[in-house]
Amino acid sequence: MSVLAYDLGAGSGRALLGHLNDREMETVEVHRFKNEPVKVGDRMYWDILRLHHELLTGLTLVKQRGEQPESLGIDSWAVDFGLIGSHGELLGNPYHYRDTQFGGMMEQVCKELGRKAIFEKTGIQFLSFNTLYQLAALRRGGSPLLDGAQRFLMIPDLLRYFLTGDAVNEFTNATTTQMYNPILGDWDRDLLAHIGVAEHLFGKAVMPGTGVGQLRGSISGDLGIARIPVVAVAEHDTGSAVVAVPATERSFAYLSCGTWSLMGTELDRPAISEESLALNFTNEGGAGGTFRLLKNIMGLWILQESMREWEREGQAIGYAELLQQAENAAPFASLFDPDDDLFLPAGDMTSRIREYCRRTGQVEPQDQGAVARSILESLALKYRIVLEWTERLSKQSFGGLHMVGGGIQNRLLCQWTANSIGKPVWAGPAEGSAIGNMAVQWIASGAFKDIWEARRVIRDSFPVKEYEPEQRSVWDHAYGRFLQVTGLAQSRTGSEV
């Protein structure tokens, strides 16, 4: 029994085949490809047609293996979207969430409506690039796209539409837009009206596991393959990653670690409160009718962007060598808050790290190892305070932290996270989003009865490495300094600064 999972991250994408044999899952990577934004003039776009081409390449490679998947599903990053016109074609290339035209719009909309009112409607974390503010920026900037649009589709919705011709919105990704009301179970009409976006663009969001058509006849004919059924999985990649968390208890904390880090827990209902608003947590939809109480953390983007910067300057370094240099660098010399707005844009990352350290009276990291160490230590320390907040908001205490995603291949980050939180870290599986994508497809087919049966099989099928905390007193001292340097000290008992 095989399924095909497309897992698209903000830097790369992959197509994996999943096989389920005798209650054991196996994955085979069929295709891996870059996902690089394209800058034209002052605008930054996703290369969406290239991504569609890569999906078709994945289908061709599956055919060459002699495989016939029973279904396929797509997951990706959140918030970004495409608009379909009356002729059924895409209106313009989807903008990248880091495009500068969206800057300042969140503050403007929040001033008009109030953060509390927006949060009570949506339960979603305030991020400057949320879809709500992207659409508001397009409308107020006089973009012609919205006037000609007939349907709004997020990235997985859009790629599914290219494959099937069926325009369908999916629940987990819809909730990330800050335009979906989880209490009403529908798009929030008041928010849409305020930003001047027509309701008819948005279809009712289907739940993960819903069948949403099959491959177009033209695609199956061109490629010489069957019209494979397509399933709307948990299409926000974090939603899929959480499905793959091999937890043994209903109460667990997770960290989905990649370009972004997302830490939280799984709840039966959204936790919309003054405290979750103050700490800027989010309540995103999950598979099986659950909600993901979590917080976005900048993640390995800062390290990835630093490495791209070095490559542009002719100082490229391999990942393994960089981690070795980081391990040998002086500890806790240069700490910063990874979520400072300073680190959101692309570009010269290392000078911004030095700027932060100069501003806070710390040593400015100079060589590559010192920069990498400052990034990884700062992430590990930020994870600790976010875990404390998660326990507080969910009224739970967690015995450890499940880490999933590509970031778990960074052994320093895993070990330093365990050191920082003072609890075990269970790292695995690495391909969490793709595995969760597959699991939802198998739940849809009846091969698994629910998420918890899928998690038991995942736990038995993929290795999990345990990291025990070390050097507790050293890391406790560093945490205290981190809180002071970042201005987050009062958030342990009050609200986020």
The CA–CA distances, whole Å, from 151 to 148, 198, 266, 312, 436 equal 10, 10, 31, 39, 28
d(CA 74, CA 8): 8
Q: Which two tokens stand for residue 58?
A: 């994945």
Which residues, at least 6 apart from 142, have a Cβ–Cβ distance to it below 8 Å? Answer: none
d(CA 11, CA 258): 10
From 75, 237, 337, 339, active-site residue: 237
* Pair type for strands 186-187 and 180-181: antiparallel
Written as one string, the DSSP assignment of 307-351 is HHHHHHTT----HHHHHHHHHHSPTTSS---TTSGGGSSSS-HHH
Q: Which residue carries 């007939």 as its tokens?
A: 150
Written as one string, the DSSP assignment of 253-285 is EEEEESSSEEEEEEESS---SHHHHHTT-EEEE
d(CA 376, CA 417): 9
Which residues, at least 6 apart from 45, have a Cβ–Cβ distance to it below 8 Å? Answer: 37, 38, 39, 93, 94, 95, 96, 99
Which residues, at least 6 apart from 44, have a Cβ–Cβ distance to it below 8 Å? Answer: 37, 38, 95, 96, 98, 99, 100
Q: Which two tokens stand for residue 465?
A: 């490495």
Catalytic: 237? yes
The CA–CA distances, whole Å, from 237 to 118, 172, 185, 257, 284 equal 24, 9, 21, 11, 12
| Residue 10 CB neighbour total at 10 angstroms | 23
Q: In the 8-state DSSP scheme, what is residue 44? A: E
* Positions marked catalytic: 237
